[in-house]
Amino acid sequence: MNINIRGELYDLSSSKVMGILNLTPDSFYDGGKYNNVDDISNQISKMVEDGLDILDIGGYSSRPGAKNISSDEEKSRVLPVLKHIKKKFPQLVISIDTFRSEIAEACLSEGADIINDISSGIIDKEMMKTISKFNCPYIMMHMLGNPQNMQDSPKYKDVVIEVIKFLSQRIKIARDFGIVDLITDPGFGFGKTTENNFEILNNLEKFKILDVPLLTGFSRKSMIYKTLNTTSKNALNGTSSLNTIALTKGAKILRVHDVKEAKECIILYEKTISSLF
């Protein structure tokens, strides 16, 4: 299973680690942690050393109830950092976490490789057109509502069927725009109860019907720390547990705060399945 990144095939037959770089002051786990060039460079260097495959940069906090910010503010957070990273880490595959086509276009023009859209083109109707223009990989996530209201009272008749149906419909629309390289994300924690999240995880192999690579993002989320009666700070072991389960059910990209531990999950999982043949 491959995707095309700037004219070169990127192999997803082996699962990859996507490391999170939040440039926001209010993200649920690491908000405000990386707010100067030295801290950012040191964190990226550490992630690369730990086995990073893709860096995901976000300038808009999408945690439940997060404050809505302007596109100008989001751009001012992301663009200077992107330019710095492209100079210092030129070989790094960079994803931009944004639902705004204006941000996507600016970042793709500066050398970003992938767009990671929590709304799958719902919030900004110009996003699909922008992705098609740049012919880049596009990650589409399921979210009920928006970050400001998604956790108010999410309700589903059958969360697995409804999320798969939504993603299938967005894939069809993306294909109509001529977008070739698609990745889907069921959106753990985005408009879902803890029970919804575990029901999706339990049925994750059913997402193979979409016939595109699958990304999962559990890293230190409330589905882990609330279940374990702990905090996001102490949710690394739980994250590794769920990452391993996701790998057994077909996840090809693990989006995480902790690169080293996720890479170890992949190495051990792939060593296990290789011994079966």
Helix %, strand %, coil % of the chain (to 5) = 45, 15, 40
- What do you get for the CA distance between the two ends of the chain, in Å? 19
Query: Closest by alpha carbon to 253, among 160, 174, 194, 186?
Result: 186
Choosing from 63, 77, 252, 255, which is the catalytic residue?
A: 255
Choosing from 63, 77, 221, 263, which is the catalytic residue?
A: 221
Three-state DSSP state, 98? coil
Reading the block at residue 218, the tokens are: 């559990």
Q: Is 255 a catalytic residue?
A: yes
CA-CA distance, 266 to 271, in Å (whole number)? 8
CA angle, corner 257, sides to 206 and 120, nearest 5? Answer: 45
CA-CA distance, 218 to 187, in Å (whole number)? 9
Tokens 């193979």, residue located: 208
CA-CA distance, 190 to 146, in Å (whole number)? 8
Query: What residue ranges in the chain does DSSP mark as E strands?
Result: 2-5, 8-11, 16-22, 54-58, 93-97, 114-117, 138-141, 182-185, 215-216, 253-256
Catalytic residues: 221, 255
